[in-house]
Chain A
Amino acid sequence: MEIIMAFVCGFLFMAAIYLILSRSLLRIIIGTGLLSHGAHLLIITMGGFGGNNPPVLADGVTEYVDPLPQALILTAIVISFGVTAFFLVLAYRSYQELKTDDMTQMKGSEDHE
């Protein structure tokens, strides 16, 4: 099971990097979304898939999954959610202001070049 998940994570990272290296800003943001999915999936994989029950105390249940990675993911998800929301609004603002979403046109500065 861990092997399959490792391949899935690797595929997600591959797709993310391909998208981040593209020209369009929106593709880049989709890439960062895939990157954080890959990272979160990797945490849960690295915690191991042992245990058959959700980490909730109940009568007669002795084998739980590791609760720590789940807490880490929950934290990481909300953080990346906040950052992505900010990034999307920033992309919208810069599209309004700079009139382009092509990263190759967003270089240099006013004084030089």
Chain B
Amino acid sequence: MNNFLLLPIIIPFFFAMILMFGQKNLKYQRITTILGLIISIICAFALLFNVKENGPQTLTLGSWPAPFGITMVSDMLSALLVLTTLVIAFFIVWYGFGSIGKERERFFYYPGVMFILTGVNGAFTTGDIFNMFVFFEVLLMASYLLIVLGGEKSQLRESIKYILVNVISSALFVITVAYLYSVVGTLNMADISVKIAEINQPGIVTVIAVLFLLVFGMKAAIFPLYFWLPNAYAAPPIPVLALFGALLTKVGVYAIMRTYTLFFTHDLAFTHELLLVLAILTIIAGSIGALAHFDVKQIIIYNIVIAVGVILFGVAQMNEAALEGAVFYLVHDMIIKAALFMLIGIVIYITGTTNLRQMGGLMKNYPALGWFYLIAALGLAGVPPLSGFIGKLLIIQGGFEAGNTWSSIFILASSLVVLLSVIRIFIYAFWGEQGQVSNNINKTTYNIMFYPTVLLVFISILYGVGTEFVVPFIDDAAKLLSDPSIYTDAVLKGGN
């Protein structure tokens, strides 16, 4: 049954709708959300294995032939990302039971989460460029709700800026789609790819490529366009921050990956060189931010920027090794960023402050937390048995194959900065003299926050140790990215 690939979009949407009713009944809200997420995760798993066995799944809504209707395409990359999204959301929602606060839970927090998942999964699965715009708006609208929910002063102030930036980038998205439509006359992504290949990417299409980089770069926080991210992400409470940090920028990264491997592959010397330079600058900007701050939230937030740079560096190489590494690193980064935000959320809950200088000595009373933080930190930096290693290894291998020796060495060096920035949290917060401790720590709340975090760290360990099981999936995704004809054939000729 081919409608199957819609289930990871439809199920969160359906549950979001039924969650709109009975919003004062917390038990109903929580159980329904968890139930919806479990069902979606099962469907996403089934979809992943289906794509593994039968190749990319396509569905053109309303049985119109391919370029005329809206096509939904679930290839290996999008199936992997959909599954990762749902798994992360499950743990973050569980974590939120302890920390989000009853006021927010009673005021459409759970429908907001489910709508954001609808938007993210839709953006990963769609095969139509305007439909992607619509799904972006779905997830952005839900994120506006989540960022401002609670109405604290700092949230109001930062959400104004967040919304303004996103309104502008959405308008730019519409403009770019208009330009693209006037050049190629189609909106279906596979068809656009074929049409651009036919006209061999004249100058105007390269201009549109750069415009797309601006649009998606603003969502993904690449170098000159990341200015909105640090303050906006520091405003909402930790579970929302974890959700944003793990998912939202990655949707922008995915969109850049998709457009730059599917559409704009005929003028690599310009477009991909630009992407490479911007990726390097993104890493520099992120590194400076991560080292400059003594605020735990800001350190991890700037690590998002660094990771975006590393993934886009992989995309810019355009060979199979680097693309495989980019996919590997993308999935790893979604998991580990969620885990790290959840871990520092616990640290903030215990100490009652985000300032590193006031923390200290947590290792004495919370050894398990300390060790799991250390594992997550080493995983982020890419120490061999853990999950960040293989992705970065492949990216750098691809960089050397493409002849970008110095920038590849630079990526290696940036890992040291990442390690330094996160180990600094470990040293300040867990070692040394007993620092500030919040005086209303509730043991049950702590446990509710602790268990999902630990499980997520375990998943990231498994992802690193069990690389052999993951490789065949990632391999398929990378093959599809490096050879757009697999994608276009699947959509336009009904390949399966």
Q: Do A and B come from one complex?
A: yes
Listed by A's residue number, 23 A-B pairs whose Cβ atoms lie within 8 Å are: A20-B164, A28-B164, A32-B167, A32-B168, A35-B167, A35-B168, A35-B171, A36-B167, A42-B178, A43-B177, A72-B174, A72-B177, A79-B134, A79-B137, A80-B167, A83-B141, A90-B144, A97-B151, A97-B156, A106-B161, A109-B154, A110-B154, A111-B295
CA A98 – CA B157 in complex, angstroms?
8
Q: Is the CB of A39 within 8 A of B171?
A: yes
A20-B164, A75-B130, A94-B157 known; A48 and B182 CB under 8 Å?
A: yes
A91 at the interface (CB under 8 A from B): yes
Of A32, A35, A75, A110, which contacts B134 at CB under 8 A? Answer: A75
A82 at the interface (CB under 8 A from B): yes
Which residues of A lie under 8 Å from residue B187 when comparing CB positions? 68
Q: Which of A11-35 contact B (CB under 8 A)?
A: 20, 25, 28, 32, 35
CA A72 – CA B126 in complex, angstroms?
16
Q: Is the CB of A46 within 8 A of B153?
A: no
B175 at the interface (CB under 8 A from A): yes
Q: Which of B136-190 contact A (CB under 8 A)?
A: 137, 140-141, 144, 148, 151, 153-154, 156-157, 159-161, 163-164, 167-168, 170-171, 174-175, 177-179, 181-182, 187
Quote the shortest CB–CB distance from B354 to chain A (angstroms): 7
Q: Is the CB of B148 within 8 A of A90?
A: yes
CA A47 – CA B183 in complex, angstroms?
10
A32-B164, A83-B163, A109-B231 known; A39 and B174 CB under 8 Å?
A: yes
Q: Is the CB of A87 within 8 A of B163?
A: yes
Dominant SS at the A interface?
helix
Q: Which residue of A is nearest B231, CB measured? A: A109
Q: Is the CB of A36 within 8 A of B153?
A: no
A75-B134, A90-B159 known; A43 and B154 CB under 8 Å?
A: no
Q: How many residues of B contact A (CB 8 A)?
A: 35
Q: How many residues of A contact B (CB 8 A)?
A: 37
CA A113 – CA B176 in complex, angstroms?
39
Closest 4 CB pairs of A and B: A46-B182, A94-B156, A46-B178, A43-B178
The interface of chain B, by Cβ under 8 A from chain A, is 130, 133-134, 137, 140-141, 144, 148, 151, 153-154, 156-157, 159-161, 163-164, 167-168, 170-171, 174-175, 177-179, 181-182, 187, 231, 234, 295, 354-355
Of A40, A47, A82, A106, which contacts B181 at CB under 8 A? Answer: A47
Quote the shortest CB–CB distance from A42 to chain B (angstroms): 5
Of B130, B144, B354, which contacts A86 at CB under 8 A? Answer: B144
The interface of chain A, by Cβ under 8 A from chain B, is 20, 25, 28, 32, 35-36, 38-40, 42-43, 45-48, 68-69, 72, 75-76, 79-80, 82-83, 86-87, 90-91, 93-94, 97-98, 106, 109-112
Quote the shortest CB–CB distance from A8 to chain B (angstroms): 14
Which residues of A lie under 8 Å from residue B164 when comparing CB positions? 20, 28, 32, 87
Of B144, B151, B167, B179, which contacts A46 at CB under 8 A? Answer: B179
Which residues of B lie under 8 Å from residue A79 when comparing CB positions? 134, 137, 170
A47-B181, A69-B181, A93-B151 known; A39 and B159 CB under 8 Å?
A: no
A32-B167, A97-B151, A111-B355 known; A90 and B160 CB under 8 Å?
A: yes
